Structure 1
Amino acid sequence: MAARTLSLTPPRRRLAADSRLALLLRSPVALLSALVLIFLLLVAIIGAPLLQDLANTQNLRLRFFRPFSLERGWAYVLGADALGRPMLAQLIVGARTSFLVAGATVALAATIGTTLGMVSGYIGGVVDAALMRISDIIVTVPSLLLALSVLFVLEPSILNLILVLAVARLPIYLRVSRAQTLEIRERVFVEASRALGKGTSSILWRDIRPLVVPTVMTVAMLEIASVMLAAAGLSFLGVGLQRPDVDWGTIVSEGREYLTRAWWATVFPGLAILVTALAANLLSNWMRASGDPLQAAAMGVTASREEAARP
């Protein structure tokens, strides 16, 4: 009888890159959402450095210049605000700030929260109890109230905004990664790694992390929209970013006083927030579904049947 070999490597739950791309191409909604986010990100990265000065340049002669006119050039195609600043340039510069705050906040919260969650779930005991109590304390305080309180005391800046929002979102990643680690640590390949004498850090990094990261990535994609909305809300309330730093929430806050006279100063940045949040939510839903083996297989079977039915 042939000897059975025991594999010590954790099973792969993610689809291969080509399979994931194939599933994305078969989902028009997810594909459109990804293209919208990529387009906005490229516009923010390329256009913002070129339009930084123009976005803050005041021209009272063009005060409340109406949109959809090329009379003053392409920069004023979306009109101007109460101080004659071009809306298009402000939207592009605001996109860079909004993506920067959302991306940095999610990256910081996900990195720290996932690490603490894996440590909490794997080690357990006093460490687990202490981390969960800290998480409970953060959760009991509404994130918006926490951010308002801290930013009211500290100077509003991009760094302070990122740190406050990251602390508020930390428990989400801690609890998700902890729950998965509690289940993964009982699997055969983890027990085999312990039997071979591997250390805690090696098991966490090599065996548990690859199975936790896909779920955390899906949560992070969804959180980008939430963080962007939270940052816009804080700027709208006046405790977020201040000029010359500007995000979409700042533009909405400045334009709300002139809503009846210059609707475009509020509607356009509001639409930018809506489109970005909607695209991020739709893409995160697709990522969750494609990361589930059953749903991914169902999508693949459905696509194959559709292709077979084509003449």
Structure 2
Amino acid sequence: MRNILLLFLSFGIASCCQVKQQETASLPVNVMSFNIRYDNPGDSLNSWQYRRDRAATAIHFYDADILGTQEVLHNQLEDLKQRLPEYDVVGVGREDGKEKGEYSALWYKKERFALLDSGNFWLSETPEVAGSKGWDGACERIASWVKLRDKVSGKEYFALNTHLDHVGVAARREGVSLMLDKVNELSGGAPVIVTGDFNAAPESDVIRHVTDTGNPKHLTDAREISPIVYGPSWSFHNYGKIPYEERPLIDYVFVRNGLKVLKYGILAETEGDAFLSDHAPVLVTVE
């Protein structure tokens, strides 16, 4: 009888462990891409001082685990650090590799993830040279990346965040080619998450190049494979000044290497006449 009881206990423990492993293996990750709009006093009542608390509250409310932010000036980085104490952040100013110019700052929940590696590169012919401007670009452009280990499931993730040039055609085209090469080089086969403002619509050559299945380095647009899509089909509204039917989708979350997309949303919310930014954040849940 004792042997039978021990056998049943062993089966029970094994079953519980197996269920637990299955639960942790599929634990979802909330990913947000958010162009917060640089701190421009000319934005009047839409300037950062009036939006910073609302923007941080939205990040908390939507419970982003990994967050790619664009157009972040150093004072905005410090404001968000103060308001998002549960996150660690990776990134440098694009003009000098330190604190000057906009960051493409990449945030992650420090209780959820352990940082294994991180870095930055410039979207230029000399990606390792801080402050280098690429091709016909109007501005310096930078990408920041992290390799993370999920403390719950033990799984590793590679995440990259960037902001492509708004003027240079060649800079966008060459920039995404460089980005795909770097993702392929740095990710080491881990599941990939890429967030960013690509300043290009889904039908553009730029995005088609990113998602071209004929390229073994391609990424997949999370919107295209999500079973649930919420919100409008655009992400940039310029504080509501662009006519609704003319607003473009230029902000993205891309995935690769076995990530399943559970839901996708564009958060085009307002509080009265007040906006989170001139862009709407993109929120995606993956596992």
**Short-chain TM bin:** under 0.3
* Structure whose CA Rg is larger: 1
Please state which structure has a larger fraction of its residues in helix: 1
Higher strand share: 2
Larger RCO (CA under 8 A, 6+ residues apart) = 1
